[in-house]
Structure 1
Amino acid sequence: MLELDCTGDLVDHALVNLPWQDWLTYWLTDLKPPLAPSYELGLRLTDDGEIQALNRDYRGQDVPTDVLAFSALEVGVPWVADAPLFLGDIVISVPTAQRQAAPGALTNELAWLAAHGLLHLLGWDHPDAPRLTQMLAKQEALLKQIGLGAPESYCE
């Protein structure tokens, strides 16, 4: 189950209606997270001001960023075996995504960022070049599964 939340005047209603639930469900089937009857996560589409505040408060970096992921698995949120497993929250800055996206490719950019955030929720990280390459390749594979390609900026 996906809880989608949007803030700011910059969030277009068409973006809210993207098939977020379908994408994340499909990706979770592929990624095989810890066994649970179902999964829950939050997805927040926001603006640069809010994501900058979150980035400052939780990562010590007082700048806007494109995506943040807050994994519940990392902090050991209790889980009851027959209940949905809460994976955490993904926060995406729509204005940053718009700046990064090639013309006409905002959907691809948003899907790319959602895939990146989901991988972080499941414990993936990119502390070095080899792990970053591995994570970007997995993101590209996830986008291909839903009929999208990686953003042009990542394919150079």
Structure 2
Amino acid sequence: MVSSANHPIQVDLNLQNVFDFNAFCDQKSSDIMAATWQPWIKTWLEALKPNLPPADTYELTLRLTEDLEIQTLNAQYRQKNQPTDVLAFAALEVDFPVPAEEIAALEPLYLGDIIISVETANKQAQQNHHSLLVELAWLAAHGLLHLLGWDHPDEDSLEAMLSQQETLLTLVGLQANG
């Protein structure tokens, strides 16, 4: 069954927390894990619904990790041997068109993987004068937009994407102070 305007989106979130928050920063791991990631992502997908491929259930992975792991991935996939804040690996990026009926038949529709370095996020949160949780949500929203095909090759598209991130954070009661 294809999503309709009145049919709520379902989200299967695979949250992988491989970072030891307690040894690194003031934010407790339980606080981050209790951050209601699934409802936030569901809210974001509902807001972005007009731009989504039709499906009843969407699936994605959110991995919270350290600089060393994200640097390895950044070097392997982007040829940049340095840590970064967020990487997004979209599952829907294909070189051939997939008919909408086939996409809708996939249950759940896998959107891809978002990987966030908590170490880099913590540095950025301090620089931007907001909490680590706000920074993680900001980066997760950025990664989600990439999974859905957003990109920022120029200043105008970057501004549009950052504006959309602000909107998504506002929808879940957060505000970035940067």
Paired residue for 2:32?
15
Q: Structure 2: 5+ residue runs without aligned partners?
A: 1-11, 23-28
Q: TM-score, normalised by structure 1?
A: 0.91
The answer on whether the counterparts of 2:53 and 2:103 sit within 8 Å (CA) in structure 1 is no
- Counting matched residue pairs gives 152
Matched residues in 2 for 1:140 and 1:106: separation? Answer: 16
What root-mean-square deviation, in Å, do the aligned CA atoms of Structure 1 and Structure 2 show?
1.8
**Which SS does the other structure have where 1:112 is aligned?**
helix
Aligned to 2:3: none
The within-5 A match list for 1:64-103 is: 64-75=83-94, 79=103, 81=105, 83-102=107-126, 103=129
SS in 1 for 2:82: coil
Q: What secondary structure is seen at the aligned counterpart in 1 of 2:116?
A: strand
Contact 2:19 2:118 in 1 (8 A): no
Distance 1:122 1:104, change over 3 A: closer
- Matching residue of 1:63: 82
CA distance in 1, matches of 2:171, 2:137: 11
C-alpha distance after superposition, 1:29-58 (max 9, x if no partner) = 010111101100000000000000000000
Contact 2:54-2:103 at 8 Å conserved across structures? no
Partner of 2:105, secondary structure, is coil
Tell me: CA distance 1:68–1:82, structure 2 relative to 1, closer, same or farther (3 Å): closer
Counting only pairs closer than 5 Å after superposition, residues 6-155 of structure 1 correspond to structure 2 as 6-10=17-21, 12-32=29-49, 33-75=52-94, 79=103, 81=105, 83-102=107-126, 103=129, 105-150=131-176, 152-153=177-178
Q: Following the alignment from structure 1 to structure 2, what is the Cα–Cα distance between the partners of residues 110 and 96?
A: 10
> Is contact 1:37–1:82 with CA below 8 Å preserved after alignment?
no
> How far apart are 1:13 and its partner, in Å?
3.1
1:72–1:87 Cα contact (<8 Å) kept:
yes
- Deviation at 1:15? 1.2
Structure 1 residues 133, 104: closer, same or farther in 2, change over 3 A?
Answer: closer
Q: Which runs of 5+ in 1 are unaligned?
A: none
Structure 2 contact 142–165 (Cα < 8 Å) conserved: yes
Larger Rg: 2
1:49 partner SS:
helix
| Closer/same/farther in 2, CA of residues 83 and 104 from structure 1, 3 Å limit | same
Question: How much identity, in percent, do the aligned residues show?
Answer: 55
Pairwise CA distance, 1:82: 5.1
